[in-house]
Chain A
Amino acid sequence: MEQAGDWRELLRVYIASPQERLRVANVLGVRPITLARWANGESLPRQRNLHQLIAAFPPADRATFIALLERDMPGFGAGLVEELEEPVEVVDIPVEFYRRVLQTRATAPGSLNRSSLCDLILQQALKHLDPHRLGLGISIARCLPPTNDEPVRSLLIDMGRGSAPWEPNMAGETMLLGVESLAAYVVISGYLVAIANLQEEGNRYPASLAAWEQSVAAAPIAWEGRVAGAFVVSSTQINYFTPQLQQLVSDYANLIALTLHPEQFYDPQHIRFGLFPSQQEQGAHIAVRFRQLLLEILKRPGTSQQYIGVIQAEQLVWQQIEKELLQ
């Protein structure tokens, strides 16, 4: 690849594989044909696309790519190699944010409290953990309350946020997780796990990955030795989670714990995760069943028509879907 005559030629080699072309296009939030047009000289990427494009290159080839870009665009790459190879500079969670979270917890209407707090924290964490917009997906996997005295059987991901290539509100990521997941492992083990390279064989931890997911970190959401779920962060970059970023993931997990009620935490001895189908299989099932079941419950004569009733109804729906999906 070092023999490439210009940056377009290097790009052509790099995206020759359809899978790689699709992965890079997803990371940049453009169509694969757009990449081909850049490589063929039919159009020019914008500055912000170039930044992401460089980040998507294997670290070993970045300097060459930037040097070739410099020939066409003098001054473009000044300091860029150093910037991209430097670990993300990490600052602590600002005090303004703690204040905002605690104030919201104190004042938001009960019906909005949990969802608003989680939304606020996820949006903050997304920007904080991915300041260069290299691609991050973050979600809260929370223990689905069991029916009666049964143990907890699953983790529910019903809220997430992402930067490209993930969808902004991770709408397609809603699912139940069990023993097959990294999140479940973290909940049971009680400590943070970071996987530097998901493509490497021999990873000791179970993890399901999106096509563009290269590394992941997950931290337990715990309180007084009990656990409510896991905070899961996935990146498009290999080796993304430096010790400082892992600490930040852990800090956000602790902040999430502050927003939950005591009854949302479970003794690990009362958790027995089941096995759940792949995200793809679940997606089709959930897309059909979730609204159908929710409407059935909400329209049932005598159902409380308060907003809190909708939250309770959603929980009943997830408990039913859990039964249907448990393998």
Chain B
Amino acid sequence: MTMHPETNPGGGNSYVNDPESGAEMARLLDQDRTLTACMGGLLPELSDIEQSAVDEVLDIGCGPGGWVQEMAFAYPQMQVTGIDISQAMVEYARAQARIQHLGNAHFEVMDARQPLAFPDASFDLINARTIAGFMLTTVWPELLRECHRLLRPGGILRLTETDSWGKTNSLAFETLIDLSYKAAWLTGHCFDPGGHTFGVTPMLTYLLKQAGIQDVSERAYAINFSVGARVYKAMYENVRVFFQLMQPFVLKARGAFPDAGIPDKEELDRLYNQMQIEMLEDDFVGIFYLLTAWGVKRDPSPPNL
């Protein structure tokens, strides 16, 4: 989950988790691996026939390039390009591709909220996973129209998002998540009118269709990270880093919106430590839901909106 610079309360770089930070890089790489494994692979919903028609792939908001590298390795016949707004992420991703001899993995610095510097009909598959954190609700339609332009006829646009980074029986976890979404809502990232979640998953099919994408399908995933579950330890570590790195963003929102009910640092620290304790309890349970929506560009003409 990363945030949009222009709406950063207080200005400047507004990623919730500083994209230039190594801690965030390591967290995103871990998250990539966990999500891919729990979803059953890189393209679990596409048939072999659909996959065999893909030559050029674009990954939007690629971060340190985990998904791109895995795709480039698994499908050596494909050319896979990742774009990210962070120069540091892109440099790191390029170095990672180099040491793995992945000549078919490419990375470019690009802002997904602006027109993308690729010719029309460049890609057979465009993928974006958990980008809601840096997307304003108003920017989604523009990005998807841009994706429509970049897709070749018959090409696939694939979006995977979550509304909440987990539903649990930990009061402290739930409180911290609520506060995170409140900060995100205040800065224009949530479709949920009450700001309790991103509210983005119910929008995916609608947004794809609005952008001229047809034959849209959906598939949901549930990742159990309760005590004893296979990914418990990985998610526990991820959550610990995530909330630690996100705290500056929440505090900035508190400064910009003093009446929003966001508590001070001392209370956030208390909640953070309480969350760790509650996640260690024998009866801790948590599930993380994702939705993938994907469809095809049939009509070469741009959507008429």
Is A269 close to B, CB under 8 A? no
A-B pair count, CB < 8 Å, reads 108
Given A100-B92, A112-B244, A131-B100, CB of A120 within 8 Å of CB of B272: no
Is B99 close to A, CB under 8 A? yes
Mark the stretch among A140-148, A233-241, A305-313 that contacts chain B. A305-313
Is A124 close to B, CB under 8 A? yes
- In the complex, what's the smallest C-beta–C-beta distance from B117 to chain A, in angstroms? 23
The reply to whether A169 and B30 form a contact with Cβ atoms under 8 Å apart is yes
Residues of chain B within 8 A (CB-CB) of A97 are 92, 95
The complex places the Cα of A133 from the Cα of B100 at a distance, in Å, of 10
Mark the stretch among B17-25, B157-165, B216-224 that contacts chain A. B17-25
Which residue of B34, B98, B274 contacts A91 across the interface (Cβ within 8 Å)? B98
Residues of chain A within 8 A (CB-CB) of B241 are 112, 115-116
- In the complex, what's the smallest C-beta–C-beta distance from B229 to chain A, in angstroms? 10
The reply to whether B92 and A112 form a contact with Cβ atoms under 8 Å apart is no
Residues of B268-305 contacting chain A, CB below 8 A: 269-270, 272-274, 276-277, 280-282
The complex places the Cα of A258 from the Cα of B27 at a distance, in Å, of 21
Mark the stretch among A189-197, A220-228, A291-299 that contacts chain B. A291-299
A-side interface mostly: helix
Which residue of B48, B74, B227 contacts A48 across the interface (Cβ within 8 Å)? B74
The reply to whether B99 and A108 form a contact with Cβ atoms under 8 Å apart is no
- In the complex, what's the smallest C-beta–C-beta distance from B96 to chain A, in angstroms? 6
Residues of A78-111 contacting chain B, CB below 8 A: 89, 91, 93-94, 96-97, 100-101, 103-104, 107-109, 111
The reply to whether B244 and A307 form a contact with Cβ atoms under 8 Å apart is yes
Is B53 close to A, CB under 8 A? no
The complex places the Cα of A294 from the Cα of B281 at a distance, in Å, of 10
Is B73 close to A, CB under 8 A? yes
Which residue of B23, B232, B269, B274 contacts A116 across the interface (Cβ within 8 Å)? B23
The complex places the Cα of A111 from the Cα of B273 at a distance, in Å, of 12
B-side interface mostly: helix
The reply to whether B22 and A101 form a contact with Cβ atoms under 8 Å apart is yes
What mask results when residues 244 to 273 of chain B are scored 1 for a CB within 8 Å of chain A, else 0? 110000000000000000000000011011
Residues of chain A within 8 A (CB-CB) of B277 are 295, 298-299
**A interface, how many residues as a size bin?**
35 or more
Is A123 close to B, CB under 8 A? yes
The reply to whether A306 and B244 form a contact with Cβ atoms under 8 Å apart is no
Residues of chain A within 8 A (CB-CB) of B81 are none
The complex places the Cα of A294 from the Cα of B233 at a distance, in Å, of 15
Closest to B272 in A: A307
The complex places the Cα of A109 from the Cα of B26 at a distance, in Å, of 14
The complex places the Cα of A241 from the Cα of B241 at a distance, in Å, of 34
Closest to A171 in B: B233
Residues of chain A within 8 A (CB-CB) of B96 are 124, 127
The reply to whether B233 and A116 form a contact with Cβ atoms under 8 Å apart is no
The reply to whether B91 and A305 form a contact with Cβ atoms under 8 Å apart is no
Is A128 close to B, CB under 8 A? yes
Give me 5 A-to-B residue pairs in the complex whose CB atoms sit less than 8 angstroms apart, sorted by A's number. A120-B23, A123-B26, A127-B99, A128-B100, A307-B276
Q: Which 9 A-B pairs have the closest CB atoms?
A: A104-B22, A116-B23, A94-B95, A119-B26, A96-B95, A131-B100, A120-B26, A171-B233, A305-B273
